[in-house]
Structure 1
Amino acid sequence: MDRNLSPDLPIVIGVSTRALFDLEEEHAVFKNQGVAAYTALQREREEELLKEGTAFEVIRRLLALNDQDRRLIDVAVLSQNSPDLSLRAFKSFEHYGLPIRRGSFTSGRPVAPFVKAWNIDLFLSNDDKDVREALAGGAAAAKLGPPPCVQCDPHTDEVRIVFDGDSVLFSEESDLIFKEHGLDTFLVHEREYAKVPMNPGPFGNFLQKLAKVREIFMRPDGVSKIRIGLVTARNAPAHARVIHTLRDWGTPVDEIHLVGSAPKAGFLQAIGAHIFFDDQKKHVDGAAEVVPAGHVPGPHDPEELVIVAEN
């Protein structure tokens, strides 16, 4: 069945400079004082290295999967910052050993129109409008917040990427049934369709490509450098459809946590996630205190916490 899932590699990631580096002070100057003041500040600090931001660690680890014979991950910078920042940014890439050599710098203009031009699979940004437009254009996209207070364990070469299910990996169909008809109807529906695979959500295609990379690094003991997790408010019996969907897609996950109404942050910290994606802002805000987290704008009221599970 065609669900618009394509496994072609490399994975192309677009990341804003503010997602990759800590540029909050400079961005405040840009917003409050304008382009001229911002440009002057960047020129003044041109020789200063940029500090690591929210997306830095996951991008570093993903790029480390490449070798001389195989390019599995490609990264382009898509930045609303001025071209003056490009000198400082590329100097910082070189210092940190990040092989990033391409990008777009637009001096305040939206970068979403360039997501398609770059053929982006995953777009990480701090700009809500760019993220929403990238999603509308068919890319997986998430709005990142500040870096977490807790640092992940550096003594491993794993890349641990964790997702929510409905409205992220899977379509919003089941979420909308819950929203419109309530929990009882949702559970009846999921029991009835337990073996009917769900359609992909905004991150479905990205998962397909990520699973391909995971397979490339799979060892005989069943462990890969890519570790994929799912932390979802679903629990039994609604979890069965998740398992059957992942089987149908050929995208097994390494771990799944059916947390119901429990906060997700503790599970993500225990996993040591290098990034987590969820469509509910309250889950993202809680997770962002302990792991890098991205909000995938979806069908829910950002102030309403939706738990599609029996307690």
Structure 2
Amino acid sequence: MAELEGAGKLVVAISSRALFDLDDSHAVFESQGLRAYSEYQIEHENDVLKPGQAFAMVNKLLRINTLLGRRCVEVILLSRNSADTGLRVFNSINHYGLDITRAAFTGGESPFRYIAPFNSQLFLSTYAEDVGRALENGVAAATLLSAGGAPEVSSQLRFAFDGDAVLFSDEAERIYKAEGLKAFAKSEKESAKKPLEGGPFRHFLSALQSLQKEFPEGECPIRTALVTARSAPAHERVILTLRAWGVRIDESLFLGGMDKGLFLKAYGADVFFDDQRSHCDSASAHVAAGHVPHGVANQ
């Protein structure tokens, strides 16, 4: 197999339960144990799995290689299955024509330790423990809340990000939690010209922008949006921070505390990342949502 070209490739690691709907087999595991689960997977290994929550995102990511004529994106499968029970997963990958060739099957143990050797910049899983360990080690990661498949509304890949504790550090959110909205607004106004520190998804956003720059204006298959509860005047620091980083966001929604779900639906997000579980639960009724268990809201 030809190696990926260039040092700037984007590598995404994903669990099998995030990629495919494995609810039926997981229910067998929960109710009857590992042996029954293994027998069930082997018995059904030629039954194609339905798409899971992240399937549309993965499919669109891999299309970028076709559009650019080179493999600048790679998706790695990290699974708690064994290679034996994981055969059903690879059969389904082949059925859908997904260009996924590298994988780690860890036989029930956490696959976390293989994220770094694969040089992954994003890890998506349904196991919160694995996601937390990835974040602790500097990898952008999120727990997908549902294994249900998200429909492909368009061919364009659309990411949406919360700001504080996701793209940015939680320094401002800490003030809000400790001292309230008035103190938060005062602090952000006074610090408007001081860029925020980066959060766990800063480098992933930069990697996406590097891919976006490969395409002519108006023809990019990737779109990004900031969807934040902030409002004026706290918006200024966010805008100036992104400018200081040299990063462009295609759309910015400053909602002033309004529910994010309908806005994400209108935007057509393939996946939305937020540090607050309540926001993710609300968003998941409309789009795929990834909980980022990072920052003061998760302490």
TM-score by shorter chain over 0.5: yes
Report if the CA contact (8 A) 1:152-1:272 is conserved: no
Q: Secondary structure at 1:74's aligned position in 2?
A: strand
Q: Matches of 2:289 and 2:131 in 1, distance apart?
A: 14
Post-superposition offset of 1:208: 0.6
Q: 1:56-85, CA deviations, whole angstroms, 9 ceiling, x for partnerless residues?
A: 000100110003742221111011122223
**Kindly tell me: are residues 148 and 133 of structure 1, through their superposed partners in 2, closer, same or farther at Cα, counting changes over 3 Å?**
same
Report if the CA contact (8 A) 2:169-2:198 is conserved: yes
Residue 133 of structure 2 is aligned to residue 122 of structure 1: no
Report if the CA contact (8 A) 1:168-1:202 is conserved: yes
Post-superposition offset of 1:16: 0.3
Question: Which residue of the partner structure matches residue 230 of structure 1?
Answer: 226
Question: Which residue of the partner structure matches residue 196 of structure 2?
Answer: 198
Q: Matches of 1:212 and 1:125 in 2, distance apart?
A: 24
Q: 1:282-309, CA deviations, whole angstroms, 9 ceiling, x for partnerless residues?
A: 110011111011000023456x9xxxxx
Question: Which residue of the partner structure matches residue 299 of structure 1?
Answer: 295
Residue 57 of structure 2 is aligned to residue 61 of structure 1: no
Structure 2 length normalisation: TM-score? 0.93
Residue 247 of structure 2 is aligned to residue 248 of structure 1: no
Report if the CA contact (8 A) 1:35-1:107 is conserved: no
Post-superposition offset of 1:265: 0.3
Report if the CA contact (8 A) 2:131-2:143 is conserved: yes
Question: Which residue of the partner structure matches residue 3 of structure 2?
Answer: none
Question: Which residue of the partner structure matches residue 45 of structure 2?
Answer: 46
Post-superposition offset of 1:95: 1.2
Q: Secondary structure at 2:65's aligned position in 1?
A: coil
Q: Matches of 2:280 and 2:246 in 1, distance apart?
A: 27
Structure 1 length normalisation: TM-score? 0.90
Q: Percent identity?
A: 45
Question: Which residue of the partner structure matches residue 135 of structure 1?
Answer: 135
Letter in 2 for 1:79: S
Q: How does 1:1-311 map to 2 (within 5 A)?
A: 8-67=7-66, 69-147=69-147, 151-153=151-153, 156-219=154-217, 222=218, 224-301=220-297
Moved over 4 A (4+): 147-150
- Root-mean-square deviation (Å): 1.8
**Kindly tell me: are residues 146 and 191 of structure 1, through their superposed partners in 2, closer, same or farther at Cα, counting changes over 3 Å?**
same
Report if the CA contact (8 A) 2:83-2:105 is conserved: yes
Gaps of 5+ in 1: 1-6, 305-311
Q: Matches of 2:182 and 2:64 in 1, distance apart?
A: 45
Post-superposition offset of 1:114: 1.4
Post-superposition offset of 1:98: 0.5
Q: Matches of 1:253 and 1:108 in 2, distance apart?
A: 39
Post-superposition offset of 1:143: 0.2
Q: 1:258-300, CA deviations, whole angstroms, 9 ceiling, x for partnerless residues?
A: 1112110000000010010000001100111110110000234
Report if the CA contact (8 A) 1:148-1:290 is conserved: no
Q: 1:144-197, CA deviations, whole angstroms, 9 ceiling, x for partnerless residues?
A: 0125687342xx421100000000000011111111222122111111111211
Q: Matches of 2:94 and 2:77 in 1, distance apart?
A: 14
Q: Matches of 1:143 and 1:55 in 2, distance apart?
A: 11
Q: Matches of 1:148 and 1:266 in 2, distance apart?
A: 19
Report if the CA contact (8 A) 1:63-1:73 is conserved: yes
Q: Matches of 1:73 and 1:277 in 2, distance apart?
A: 20
Q: Matches of 1:85 and 1:95 in 2, distance apart?
A: 17
Q: 1:114-160, CA deviations, whole angstroms, 9 ceiling, x for partnerless residues?
A: 1112111000000010000010011000000125687342xx42110
